[in-house]
Structure 1
Amino acid sequence: MPTAIRRVKVSDSVTSSLLDLIRHGDYPAGTRLPPERELAVRFGVSRATLRDALRRLELLGYLEVRQGGGTFARTPDASTLSRPFQGLLAGSPGTATDLMEFRCMVEPEVAALAAERASSNELALLSDSYERQQRAADRGLRLADEDMRFHGLIAQASGNAVFSGVLETLRHLMQELRHNLLPGSRPDLTLREHLRILEAITARDPHGARAAMAAHLNTVSRTLRLERALPGAALPTLGDDHD
């Protein structure tokens, strides 16, 4: 029996062709694409079809439309990749719990790898990040971005590009989670737990790093569960400035 032939939409074909040109270096990141009229003629399609393809690539993070400046090729980053999940997180509160479960499965192993593989420069960056968190806390500021950077540096120090990329995307989702579901104001517990993680990684102790990260994320998970159960309630025993 002959196999059915799937009809490909014209806009799908244009999207694929443009993506190939970007990936193969015809339009390197930062390069301005030709005007719409010229591209439409090149691909033999209407400008409406071309715009559909451009919108898709913009959503995927391969294009950036600058008001009055044209359309530019770019490299997708974690912020772009996390966009489709941000709506899911906002529309389904249970997704926040799922996200934390995933982190609890992955990040302890990432910390263990970092303890084995971190370079002296990466250890210095982790130490500097921790000191920045301390200074922020001393000034009464939330740890916020530096907190997330600390976890990102651990992922980089693991030496695993897949771990690093996935966790970088999760960091952007955690920004959404932090603002909506973890509104407390105690960085002291975070600092203590981050210090244990840092000390274990610096000591080249993968078992200790794994345990310290697991304990840290368990605290974050408990904080999330309490905050969801008692919106706006004070959390006297649990820190909040976790990412």
Structure 2
Amino acid sequence: MNIDSLFNNESQKNNNRINKLISQISDLINKKHYQPGDKLPPERTLSEKFGVSRRSIRAAILKLESYGILKSMPQSGTFVSNIGRIAMNSMVKDIVSLEMPNFKSLVETRILLELESVKLAALRHTEQGLEKIKDALDAHESKLLSGKDAIQEDLLFHLAIAQVSGNATINKIMIAIAPQIIIEFKKYHVDYDDLDELRINEHIQIYEAIKDRNPELAKKRMKIHFKMLYEYCDTSS
């Protein structure tokens, strides 16, 4: 079984469960003739109605919210967004018919996002933002040099760059996809732990390009850092 199959099996089960809930919530909205601005029943009520956990209900609501169909307001509840019934039903059909992204597609998405986010970080960073990247850089290096696993620090370095880019959409997508990519890549790349010094140096070079406000150099160095990910995409085509 290859990495995509391993990655997709459990994710597909979760995705199917959430998509079923999305369809059920959509049917409820249609059946009850909810209008834009109307409030949905509480998560507890929905979980009892559909016979699932509140965690599953929350995941379905978050997915619908990410597509702009629902809107959650702290301390108030979840509301139907200002979108027409026909458009909503069409979007729900599209959402539930989407295939789960395989590992390769997530890697390709990450590469595209990070090449843009590192350029934006070089152009837009503040002293506070630069310090955030440096803190993640130092924590990653310190962990590796002490012989410890630094996968979390590796992740935080890349997420810090996405945050400093100032693009909320890039930041949100990176938060969603980067952790699984790093975990899965390390799990199935046998040479990962032998490349600590290389990864430290590449992180430093990326940071220096951002610090110098050189977006093209920052992008170039990020591409070098992604060499193994590029190779994975090429070999799995």
Q: Same fold (TM over 0.5)?
A: yes
Give 3-state SS (helix, strand or coil) of 1:204's partner. Answer: coil
Alpha-carbon distance in 2 for matches of 1:25, 1:182: 49
2:101 counterpart of 1:99: no
* Partners of 1:111 and 1:201 within 8 A in 2: yes
> Residue in 2 aligned with 1:221?
230
Report how far residue 96 of structure 1 moved.
2.5
Question: Equivalent residue of 1:60, what SS?
Answer: helix
Match of residue 44 from structure 1: none
Cα deviation, 1:1-58, whole Å, max 9, x if unaligned, reads: xxxxxxxx8753436899x9xx97979xxxxx5864xx79xxxxxx5x4436967523
Post-superposition CA distance 1:166-225 (Å, at most 9, x none)? 111111321441353234313111111111100000111111111111111123433x47
2:139 is equivalent to residue 132 of structure 1: yes
CA distance in structure 1 between the aligned counterparts of 2:77 and 2:202, rounded to whole angstroms: 37
TM-score by structure 1 length? Answer: 0.59
Unaligned runs of 5+ in 2: 1-22, 64-74, 79-95
- Cα 1:16–1:180 change in 2 (3 A) is farther
- Structure 2 CA distance for aligned equivalents of residues 17 and 125 of structure 1: 49
Q: Distance in 2 between matches of 1:54 and 1:134?
A: 40
For residues 192 and 34 of structure 1, what CA distance do their matches in structure 2 show?
A: 47
- The aligned residue for residue 146 of structure 1 is 153
The CA distance in 2 between the partners of 1:219 and 1:123, in whole Å, is 26
How do 1:1-243 and structure 2 match up within 5 A? 12-14=26-28, 33=42, 36=45, 49-51=49-51, 57-60=57-60, 62=62, 88=100, 95-183=102-190, 184-185=192-193, 186-222=195-231, 224=232
Deviation at 1:115, TM superposition (A): 0.2
Separation in structure 2 between the aligned mates of residue 151 and residue 103 of structure 1, nearest angstrom: 10
Q: Share of identical aligned residues, percent?
A: 21
Stretches of structure 1 that go unaligned for 5 or more consecutive residues are 1-8, 28-32, 41-46, 64-71, 76-83, 90-94, 229-243
1:93-141 deviation digits (Å, cap 9, x = unpaired): xx33332222222311210110000111110011111111111012101
- The question of whether the paired residues in 1 share the 8 Å contact of 2:118 and 2:210 is answered with yes
| Cα deviation digits, residues 54-96 of structure 1 (max 9, x gap) | 6752332659xxxxxxxx9999xxxxxxxx9xx957xxxxx33
CA distance in 1, matches of 2:171, 2:122: 15
- Residues 54 and 130 (structure 1), Cα distance of their counterparts in 2 relative to 1, 3 Å cut: closer
Residue 194 of structure 1 aligns with an amino acid whose one-letter code is H
The letter for the 2-side match of 1:14 is: L
- Tell me the SS of whatever aligns to 2:226: helix
Asked whether the 8 Å contact 1:115–1:203 carries over to 2, the reply is yes
> What's the RMSD between the two structures over aligned residues?
4.2
Q: 1:131 to 1:74 in 2, by over 3 A?
A: farther
Would the alpha carbon gap of residues 173 and 35 (structure 1) be closer, same or farther in structure 2, given more than 3 Å must change? closer
